[in-house]
Amino acid sequence: MRPSLPVAAACAALALACVPAFPAAADSGPSVAFRMSDPRIIESSGLAASHLHPGVYWTHNDSGDGPYVFAVDSATGKTLARVTMRGVAARDMEAISLGPDGDLYLGDIGDNLGGKWPEVWIYRFPEPKQLRDQTVDVTRFTVRYSDGPRDAESLMVHPKTGRVYIASKNEDGGHLYAGPAKLSTHGVNVFRPVADVPWVTDGAFSPDGTRLVLRGYFWSADYRWVNGAPRKISDLSVPMQPQGEGVTFTTDGRTLMYSSEGKNSQVWKAPLSGADLPDSAAASAGPSGRSQGGGPAAESSTKSTDGHGASKALGIAVLAAFGGLGYLTSKALRRRRRRH
The CATH number assigned to the domain holding 301 equals 2.120.10
CB atoms within 10 A of CB 285: 17
The rounded distance, in Å, linking the Cα atoms of 214 and 203 is 4
pLDDT at residue number 44: 93
Q: Which residues lie closer than 8 Å to 242 by C-beta, 6 or more apart?
A: 9, 12, 13, 16, 260, 261, 262, 265
Q: Considering the domain boundaries, does residue 3 fall inside one? A: no
pLDDT at residue number 27: 52
Q: Which residues lie closer than 8 Å to 140 by C-beta, 6 or more apart?
A: 88, 121, 122, 123, 185
CB atoms within 10 A of CB 13: 17
Q: Considering the domain boundaries, does residue 2 fall inside one? A: no
Torsion, Cα of 55, 223, 212, 163 (10° steps): 160
Q: Considering the domain boundaries, does residue 73 fall inside one? A: yes
Domain range for 111 is 8-339
What does residue 70 show for φ and ψ, rounded to 5 degrees?
-115, 135
pLDDT at residue number 171: 79
Total tally of structural domains belonging to the chain = 1
pLDDT at residue number 62: 87
Q: Considering the domain boundaries, does residue 1 fall inside one? A: no
pLDDT at residue number 112: 77
CB atoms within 10 A of CB 286: 9
H helices of the chain, in order, are 8-18, 279-283, 311-339
Q: Provide the whole-model pTM.
A: 0.81
Q: Which residues of the chain have pLDDT under 50?
A: 2, 4-26, 287-314, 316-340
